[in-house]
Structure 1
Amino acid sequence: MTPDTDFSSDERSRTDPDLDAPWTYATTAARRLSLPDEIEQRLLHPHHRQRITVQFERDDGTLGVCDGYRVRHDRARGPFVGPHRYTSELRGDDCAGLAAATTVSAALAGVPFGGAAGGVAVDPATLSRDERVRLTRAYAARVTGVGPDSDVFVPNVGTDERTMARFADAVADRVDGPHNATVAGKPPAIGGFREISRASGQSVARVTRDVLETDHDRPLSDATIAVYGTGPLGATAARLLEFRGGTVVAMCSDRAGLTAPDNETGLDTDLAPSYLQRPGTLAEYDDGTMTGTQNVLERDVDVLVLAEPATAVTAENTDAIHADLVVEGATGSVTPGGQRALEDRDIAVVPDVLATAGTMIAAHLEWVESVGRDRSSEARVTNEFDYALADAVDDVRERRERCDLSWREAAYSVGVSRVAAAHEVVR
């Protein structure tokens, strides 16, 4: 358990996402709800931590050695499920924070899962295709406790549907039940849903529109949007927000940004992400101006979507934020100090556990089909996704208004109370 965070300051030098933050929010929610000490302690400590050494052969014949992790937070509501990521700075404590956030997000989504998270401390950009395959299989051979009714993996930073397919294949001989149900977000060719790879971006776009139009009385068609991050989540959210009428006036990758002139219609969200992923080509982009990433963060807009897995907003830089609504699409992109400072300026923050709750909904829909319990058409999947996500937002909105809480406080209050209720019935 991480001790209470000082809301007055943050370390400005930190660029990795603040993945300790979920513990702060969970602690605050547990104390606000006056939970019994036994249940509070279960919620504030991971159920299981695993750290493994991952050895794999590199293309030149040498041995690559990386640290691998899997942290399972809580299983009161059902099997563990959660992100699997490849990133060079990954730590065990990071996975614990992600797992706690996933527990809350799954509870908000109303799906019978508990949270988990893990991955390998490696920069995927340094790996060839064959090295990625060998790394994934090496990790799968060492990690324990996986299975369709125990722990289900979901792609995240640095991993994709092929990673999930390789992982499922690697554990096929040692899991009970359908091995493809050990992962969600796999390719359609082996039972995955076609749209699940975009579920996080779809979730962020839908939640943004709902909150903007219902709580800020601003039609999306009249809104300007800045998207900080152009990975799959940011690119998908930007395209969908533009498709539904919003105007995306600024976007950035982790290396460069693009802004549209004030008198223009906005950036082309189909083209801008690909240019931003290759900064050397930005001079060829005619419909925007190349700028720094900080300029995108500070753009005067109606909505700022944080989609980069890095700390973006701290207590020290909130004065430069000019958005009316901040949507946290990446866990840890707003620090607790940044959260408090934004609230002091009456800037609403939709937290990651709500903004990306659609990921848990999509994972559950795929899991149900993979274990053979149901068959769903794409239309049915889309409808169930939309209804479940709308319910999640409505539940948090109701708690927020009834108890006079912020979006984050309300989200954690709803999520933690549901997990606590599950613990209560089995005490």
Structure 2
Amino acid sequence: MSMHDENRSASARLGGLSYLNPAAPEPWASFIEQIERVRPYLGPLERWIETLKHPKRTLIVDVPIERDDGSIAHFEGYRVQHNLSRGPGKGGIRFHPAVTLNEVMALAGWMTVKNAAIGLPFGGAKGGIRVDPASLSKGELQRMTRRFTSEIGLIIGPDRDIPAPDVGTNAKTMAIMMDTFSMNRGGTATGVVTGKPIALGGSLGRQEATGRGVFLCAREAGKHQHIPLEGARIVVQGFGNVGGIAARLFRAAGARVIAIADHTATLANDAGIDIPAAQAWVAEHGGLAGFDGAGAIEIEDFWQLECEYLIPAALEGQITPERANRVRARVVVEGANGPTTPAADDVLRDRGILVVPDVLANAGGVTVSYFEWVQDFSSFFWTEDEINARLERIMVSAFDAIWQVAQEKQVSLRTAAFIIACHRVLEARAERGLYP
């Protein structure tokens, strides 16, 4: 989701698309269940599995700021480092009124799996503040970001834990975090965060990377399922930096995007939606509401539209067993983190619907964040074509490896990704041993 997706009131966000699904299990419970499903495939490494069920470090901080009217406001912030066995922590910072420790723990765990499944030299981390960023002025938002950065500065750093943008944050947020950390350190540290503005050591191609990765995974899944992109029907939930960009790339490849949704509206047009026009509307108006290039439909009707590809690119817990029973897509490609509950995963599998899991499908963003981190260390920057080519090579290679494990062991792509990732993380844990 982009900053436009978040800069609306909490009531509008909670009402428009029902992003927060009370029927979904707690995110951490979903993560633990996914880990348990890998246990039979770990062999001797099973003795280390509890490592993945216990975050290495959890920091809860008070974030007090002075409001513009002189009053004092307090916000609760988190930074969770789930596992650092394979390298420094890596994961986004989320500003959202529904942020909880349970959610941040799960997101950090999924980052551990995602980084290992793709083969990046990072562990998993995540952070956030429970706040509606639209309720703060620019000055208040900057003061909150700086205070939060100072509070978590104890555990972050270019070789310790590297935050990035997530829901409700953007390149400007990262610029403020980098500056705050650098001022406290007494020297510029560009590598402390990724997703920065280009002028501060950001990487070309970073903004589009997650959506591009979703598109690449859909393309590769289509090859295996014999679903050509030309003429394929696409349904996209979430229309920010993930869903919107993925939709644009699908359209450019000849696919037909027949439905899009964000926190303000759910729209459909079987003839195909003009995605650049929809993106321009969102940029001007802050949401899809009022866009006349498609008709409004009910949210529950959205889930049962017949299509080749369904792209959930909003928040976690969106596809429940009830919705999974109504899905009429051939392939689900998870642009969001944890959009499908474990029980819904089983329903989709039993119905023969392929799911490309989040830990693979939306890994484009962290992959280009890795490129940014490397470029900052070397002070040598690549062209956008080089970035996109390297991204495609890594994503396609990871997809092929996960597909092969899924075929060999007759498991879902999600379980296959977790098998590969958990083996890599727990092997690193075993080789390092325990200290003291």
Q: Give the TM-score taking structure 2 as reference length.
A: 0.89
CA, structure 1 residues 43+17, in 2 after alignment: closer, same or farther (shift >3 Å)?
closer
Is the aligned partner of 1:242 residue 2:251?
yes
CA, structure 1 residues 28+176, in 2 after alignment: closer, same or farther (shift >3 Å)?
farther
Q: Would the aligned equivalents of 2:24 and 2:320 in 1 still touch at CA under 8 Å?
A: no
Aligned pair partner of 1:409 in 396, 406, 415: 415
Aligned pair partner of 1:290 in 269, 273, 296: 296
Is the aligned partner of 1:384 residue 2:394?
no
CA, structure 1 residues 359+281, in 2 after alignment: closer, same or farther (shift >3 Å)?
closer
User: What is the CA distance between 1:82 and its match in structure 2?
Assistant: 0.5
User: What is the CA distance between 1:12 and its match in structure 2?
Assistant: 6.5
Further displaced range: 393-402 or 374-383: 374-383
Task: Tell me the SS of whatever aligns to 2:314.
Answer: coil
Name the % identity. Answer: 31
Further displaced range: 363-372 or 35-44: 35-44
Measured against aligned partners, the alpha-carbon deviations of 1:72-119 in whole angstroms (never above 9, x if no partner) come to: 011111111111110111111111100110011111221100000011
CA, structure 1 residues 193+216, in 2 after alignment: closer, same or farther (shift >3 Å)?
same
Number of corresponding residues: 412
Q: Would the aligned equivalents of 1:283 and 1:290 in 2 still touch at CA under 8 Å?
A: no
Whole-Å separation in 2 of the counterparts to 1:80 and 1:175? 19
Aligned pair partner of 1:339 in 334, 345, 355: 345
Aligned pair partner of 1:314 in 320, 338, 341: 320
Q: Would the aligned equivalents of 1:178 and 1:370 in 2 still touch at CA under 8 Å?
A: no
Q: Would the aligned equivalents of 1:187 and 1:194 in 2 still touch at CA under 8 Å?
A: no
Letter in 2 for 1:102: M
User: What is the CA distance between 1:15 and its match in structure 2?
Assistant: 6.6
Task: Tell me the SS of whatever aligns to 1:22.
Answer: helix
Whole-Å separation in 1 of the counterparts to 2:300 and 2:361? 23
Q: Would the aligned equivalents of 1:56 and 1:134 in 2 still touch at CA under 8 Å?
A: yes
Aligned pair partner of 1:259 in 268, 280, 287: 268
Whole-Å separation in 2 of the counterparts to 1:27 and 1:284? 44
Is the aligned partner of 1:168 residue 2:172?
no
Letter in 2 for 1:125: A
Q: Which runs of 5+ in 1 are unaligned?
A: 1-10
Q: Would the aligned equivalents of 1:91 and 1:121 in 2 still touch at CA under 8 Å?
A: yes
Q: Which residue of 2 aligns with 1:206?
A: 216
CA, structure 1 residues 169+288, in 2 after alignment: closer, same or farther (shift >3 Å)?
same
Letter in 2 for 1:71: V
Q: Would the aligned equivalents of 1:303 and 1:326 in 2 still touch at CA under 8 Å?
A: yes
Further displaced range: 293-302 or 178-187: 293-302
Q: Give the TM-score taking structure 1 as reference length.
A: 0.91
User: What is the CA distance between 1:283 and its match in structure 2?
Assistant: 4.8
Is the aligned partner of 1:93 residue 2:99?
no
Aligned pair partner of 1:194 in 195, 200, 204: 204
Task: Tell me the SS of whatever aligns to 2:415.
Answer: helix
Task: Tell me the SS of whatever aligns to 1:201.
Answer: helix
Is the aligned partner of 1:421 residue 2:431?
no
Is the aligned partner of 1:353 residue 2:363?
no
Task: Tell me the SS of whatever aligns to 2:307.
Answer: coil
CA, structure 1 residues 56+410, in 2 after alignment: closer, same or farther (shift >3 Å)?
same
Q: Which residue of 2 aligns with 1:104?
A: 113
Is the aligned partner of 1:61 residue 2:67?
no
User: What is the CA distance between 1:248 and its match in structure 2?
Assistant: 0.4
CA, structure 1 residues 291+204, in 2 after alignment: closer, same or farther (shift >3 Å)?
same
Aligned pair partner of 2:163 in 140, 153, 159: 153
Q: Which runs of 5+ in 2 are unaligned?
A: 1-19
Measured against aligned partners, the alpha-carbon deviations of 1:282-320 in whole angstroms (never above 9, x if no partner) come to: 5551x3212223222221101100001142211122221
Q: Which residue of 1 aligns with 2:38?
A: 29
Matches within 5 A, 1:106-145: 106-143=115-152, 144-145=154-155
Whole-Å separation in 1 of the counterparts to 2:379 and 2:125? 23
CA, structure 1 residues 32+137, in 2 after alignment: closer, same or farther (shift >3 Å)?
same
Whole-Å separation in 2 of the counterparts to 1:330 and 1:97? 13
Letter in 1 for 2:118: A
Further displaced range: 287-296 or 156-165: 287-296
Whole-Å separation in 1 of the counterparts to 2:47 and 2:398? 27
User: How well do the aligned residues superpose, as a CA RMSD in angstroms?
Assistant: 2.1
Whole-Å separation in 2 of the counterparts to 1:324 and 1:203? 19
Aligned pair partner of 2:191 in 172, 178, 181: 181
Task: Tell me the SS of whatever aligns to 1:70.
Answer: strand
